[in-house]
């Protein structure tokens, strides 16, 4: 299967700030990817470059085997739903009509059904929509466009839990019927952890993790108990975090753990908990930030904001 | 789904449980990958992986163009395998906890023998 996206040594600098630092990965066709990372990690910049809305400083990007800039063949097959999309002053139905013109795969009936699901008033001017309604509109466009490559960049500002669940359910159902490549960038990791097949984790412009979600599950464990026993157990993995209370310690470790390790923890008298994807991401990105010296990069990035 | 264990294994186990308790009879059709994905709200590829695990070990078989079915004899085979796992999953932790509390094996055995009466 040929990759839909290939990124090789991609670097993006803004006035001395490195937003992306030699990032390389590829996206396989018809998978749902989770693009995760803290605010300012470089996720949006990456998606902007992949959708020709920003320029790389150096490195190679191909989308559907071609470079994306001013490339109609690529861009007509791509949909990018941004966190705070603004629309010209017009009715919701006109926005949907405009979106249908630029996306060859657009499904009008599906858009109509989604509009009902999200209870979006079709005749209202977009300027009069609430923040949550605007997010719904973005989601409707992203889903109904059925673009072979769809990016959702934190698409649900102001959306309530019910609407978010509708989004996940419709995404999953429609993806099943019409497989396509979806990149979902979000901070609500717990909510999407079972929808995504593959995880890309970016931290301070670097790709920290490029792994199957299923492989990650069970790789990060938290063990607690007597310090000596914890020390014994953590010898087999990379320790990400540790807290102490008297003679008791709790450590988060990453490794290729299996049933034998669970038995080992039990024999050592340790409590063992598996990390959720969200905990794993928090630990991995905190570990990096914590260990990194307060260097020039972090300082200049603060100034930039 | 619970954290920390691959979801495809949990899907495979759920199907196994349905076969063990008779909810899914032998030669009966198994829910499709898409149905499983929608019901459990998981990625369809993950659901497919769980189903394929059971096809690979002979618990399920594929009827071309129709779907997946429970193999004949699957129930007995699963029961045998689960019995083997029983010691590791239940007996070992029981012994470990008992040792921690100073319950010796004879006392533990007595507890098991008389448990139904105590209740």
The kind and range of the H/E element at A176 are helix A161-177
Q: Is the pLDDT of residue B7 over 80?
A: yes
Q: Give the C-alpha separation, A145 to A148, whole Å.
A: 9
As annotated, the residues of chain A forming the CATH 3.30.70 domain(s) are 219-285
| Residue from the list B46, B88, B100 with its beta carbon closest to the beta carbon of A197 | B46
A156-163's contacts with Cβ under 8 Å and 24+ in sequence apart are A156/A186, A156/A188, A157/A83, A157/A84, A157/A131, A157/A132, A158/A130, A158/A131, A158/A132, A158/A134, A159/A132, A159/A135, A160/A132, A163/A118, A163/A132, A163/A135, A163/A136
Q: How far is CA B103 from its chain centroid?
A: 30
Four-way CATH pick for A3-204: 1.10.3720.10, 3.40.50.300, 2.130.10.10, 2.40.160.10: 3.40.50.300
DSSP state of B89: I
> For A223-243, how does the pLDDT look when each residue is reduced to its tens digit (9 = 90+)?
999 999 999 999 988 898 899
> Tell me, what's the pLDDT at A2?
77
The verdict on a CB contact (< 8 Å) between A194 and B8 is: no
| Burial class of residue A204 in the structure, from the number of CB atoms within 10 Å of its CB (0-12 exposed, 13-18 middle, 19+ buried) | buried
Task: Spell out the residues 6+ positions from residue A174 whose beta carbon is closer than 8 angstroms to its own.
Answer: A110, A143, A146
> Tell me, what's the pLDDT at A287?
62
B7 touches A at CB < 8 Å: yes
> Is B36 in a helix, a strand, or coil?
helix
Q: What is the phi/psi pair of residue B13, to 5°? A: -65, -40
Given a cut of 50, the residues of chain A with pLDDT beneath it are 289-305
Q: Which two tokens stand for residue B61?
A: 């078989």
B99 touches A at CB < 8 Å: no
- The domains of chain B are located at 7-72, 75-118
> For B48-72, how does the pLDDT look when each residue is reduced to its tens digit (9 = 90+)?
999 999 999 999 999 999 999 999 9
The verdict on a CB contact (< 8 Å) between B41 and A269 is: no
**By percentage, how much of chain B surpasses pLDDT 70?**
97
Query: Strand B60-63 relative to strand B67-70: parallel, antiparallel, unpaired?
Result: antiparallel
B37 touches A at CB < 8 Å: yes
> Tell me, what's the pLDDT at B3?
64
A219-285 is classed CATH 3.30.70:
yes
The kind and range of the H/E element at A224 are strand A220-226
**Which CATH code fits B7-72?**
1.10.10.10
Q: What is the phi/psi pair of residue A101, to 5°? A: -75, -30
- Is residue A1 within 8 A of residue A164, CB to CB? The reply is no
| Residue from the list B6, B37, B38 with its beta carbon closest to the beta carbon of A218 | B6
């Amino acid at each position: 299967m040929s990759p839909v996206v290939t990124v090789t040594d991609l670097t993006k600098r803004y006035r001395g700030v490195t937003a992306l630092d030699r990032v390389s990965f590829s996206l396989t066709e018809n998978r749902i990817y989770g693009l995760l990372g803290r605010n300012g990690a470089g996720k949006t910049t990456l998606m902007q470059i992949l959708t020709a809305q920003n320029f790389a400083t150096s490195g190679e990007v191909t989308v559907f085997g071609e470079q994306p800039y001013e490339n109609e063949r690529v861009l007509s097959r791509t949909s990018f739903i941004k966190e705070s999309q603004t629309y010209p002053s017009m009715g919701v139905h006109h926005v949907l009509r405009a979106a249908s013109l630029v996306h060859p795969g657009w499904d009008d009936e599906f858009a109509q059904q989604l509009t009902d699901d999200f209870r979006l008033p079709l005749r209202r001017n977009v300027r009069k929509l609430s923040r949550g309604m605007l997010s719904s509109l973005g989601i409707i466009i992203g889903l109904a466009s059925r673009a072979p490559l769809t990016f959702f960049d934190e698409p649900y500002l102001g959306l309530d839990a019910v609407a978010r669940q509708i989004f996940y359910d419709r995404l999953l159902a429609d993806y099943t019927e019409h497989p396509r490549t979806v990149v979902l960038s979000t901070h609500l990791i717990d909510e999407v952890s079972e929808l995504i097949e593959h995880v890309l984790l970016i931290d301070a412009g670097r790709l920290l993790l490029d792994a199957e979600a299923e492989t990650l599950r069970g790789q990060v464990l938290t063990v607690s108990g007597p310090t000596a026993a914890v020390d014994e157990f953590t010898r087999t993995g990379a320790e990400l975090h540790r807290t102490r209370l008297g003679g008791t310690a709790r450590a988060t470790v990453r490794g290729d753990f299996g049933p034998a390790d669970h038995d080992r923890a039990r024999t050592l008298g340790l409590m063992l908990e598996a990390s959720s994807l969200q905990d794993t991401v928090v630990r991995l990105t905190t570990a990096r930030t914590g260990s990194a010296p307060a260097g020039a990069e972090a300082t200049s990035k603060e100034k930039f904001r | 789904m619970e954290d920390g264990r691959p979801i495809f294994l949990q899907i495979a186990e759920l199907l196994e449980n349905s076969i063990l308790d008779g909810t899914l009879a032998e030669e009966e059709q198994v829910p499709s990958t898409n149905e499983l994905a929608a019901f459990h709200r998981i990625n369809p590829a993950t659901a497919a992986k769980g189903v394929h695990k059971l096809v690979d070990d002979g618990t399920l078989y594929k009827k071309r163009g129709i779907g997946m079915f429970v193999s004949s004899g699957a129930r007995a085979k699963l029961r045998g395998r689960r019995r083997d796992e029983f010691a590791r999953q239940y007996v070992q932790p029981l012994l470990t906890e008992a040792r921690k509390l100073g319950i010796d094996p004879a006392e533990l055995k007595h507890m098991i023998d008389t448990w139904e009466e105590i209740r």
